[in-house]
Amino acid sequence: MTANIYFTGGPEAWARYKLPLLEALASAGIEAELTNECPDPAAVDYLVFLPGTVSDFTPFTRAKAVLSLWAGVETITGNATLTQPLARLVDESLAEGMTDYVTGHVLRHHLGIDRFLTATDWVKVVPPLARDRKVTVLGLGQLGTTCAAALAGLGFDVAGWSRRPKQIDGIACLSGEDGLAEALARAEILVLLLPRTPETESILNAETIAQMPEGAVVINPGRGALIDDEALLSALDAGHLGHATLDTFRVEPLPADHPFWRHPRVTVTPHIAAETRPATASKVIAENVRRAEAGEPLLYLVDRGAGY
């Protein structure tokens, strides 16, 4: 049987994904009709989904699954028309990219690199050793765990916080409200790798920022909505926070008049922390199609109740 697969992204994404998807599907032994046009939604077996495309899933009456090319699925978890199983992306390249981004930006702040980029004086500002620097990662999922482990591998004193209790070698694992307070109180550098859900919305706000140590740094490749922007700006202005490196925003692209662009203590990166790479992501999609066709459970199913 031929599986009809509809790639929902626009022409630019289609140009990048068409061949890798066809190759991955062929390697997985799937006979597939892959299309970027959808004359008959009722004939579609699988949707390979990008955010900002399909919003009404009702006409996809035959679809066996919606397979997201993004890890974050907050744009569709609440969509009542989506009755099909939803799988998110878990991919080695995403984890590698995120690890590069997080370790790079943590090291920048840990070593105080900015100071030396423009220094013209011989002032020895010696950074502590990594083992004496406390880093907290909020979110210990696929990406948070990989980043926390990489930071611990560099010698940092790492704690992580998750919804459910966890045990990970080399990481002080915390959960629950008390765990959050402890995680924040120690966070000289705080990395946000939580999904956007009703529970995590504005988790970094005036109250939680106040629990962080003076001069702490925030790095947010998770989602913009995790942060109350006004509270962050106030804490930066007051010097309570030393810097914020932000990759994700409530509105993207970040509007030209947003104060983050001009703030001396904010670094903006344009949602590039971990880009989905077609070659590896296509293999994940193909494996899930193979599983569905073989009647095996899908990988990386989203818990719609939890929102991620």
Interface contacts to ligand OXD, rule CB under 6 A: 70-72, 89, 276
**CA dist list (Å): 262 to 207, 224, 256, 283:** 25, 17, 10, 41
Answer yes or no: 240 catalytic: no
**CA dist list (Å): 187 to 135, 161, 212:** 5, 11, 6
Contact between 19 and 36 under an 8 Å Cβ cutoff? The reply is no
Tell me the per-residue interface mask from 3 to 42 with ligand NDP, x by CB under 6 A, - otherwise: ----------------------------------------
- Whether the CA torsion 41, 47, 48, 52 is positive or negative: it is positive
* Annotated catalytic residue within 240, 263, 265, 271: 271
Among the listed residues 50, 78, 151, the one whose alpha carbon sits nearest the alpha carbon of residue 304: 78
The answer to the question of residue 136 lying near ligand NDP (CB under 6 A) is no
* 255-274 positions binding ligand NDP, by CB under 6 A: 271, 273-274
Q: Which of 133, 163, 186, 243 binds ligand NDP (CB under 6 A)?
A: 163
Contact between 236 and 266 under an 8 Å Cβ cutoff? The reply is yes
Beta-bridge partners for 171: 168
The answer to the question of residue 143 lying near ligand NDP (CB under 6 A) is yes
* Residues in CB range of 118: below 8 A, 6 or more apart: none
263 binds, among ligand NDP, ligand OXD, none (CB under 5 to 8 A by kind): none
The answer to the question of residue 142 lying near ligand NDP (CB under 6 A) is yes
Q: Nearest approach, Cβ of 159 to ligand NDP (angstroms)?
A: 13
Which CB, 139 or 242, lies closer to ligand NDP?
A: 139
82 binds, among ligand OXD, ligand NDP, none (CB under 5 to 8 A by kind): none
Cα–Cα distance measured from residue 254 to residue 234, given in angstroms and rounded to the nearest whole number: 19
The answer to the question of residue 287 lying near ligand NDP (CB under 6 A) is no
200 binds, among ligand NDP, ligand OXD, none (CB under 5 to 8 A by kind): ligand NDP
DSSP 209: H
Question: Which residue, judged by CB position, is nearest to ligand NDP in the bound state?
Answer: 141
Cα–Cα distance measured from residue 247 to residue 233, given in angstroms and rounded to the nearest whole number: 16
Can you give the binding site for ligand NDP, defined by CB under 6 A?
71-72, 94, 139-144, 161-164, 193-197, 199-200, 221-223, 247-248, 271, 273-274, 308
Which of the residues are catalytic? 223, 271
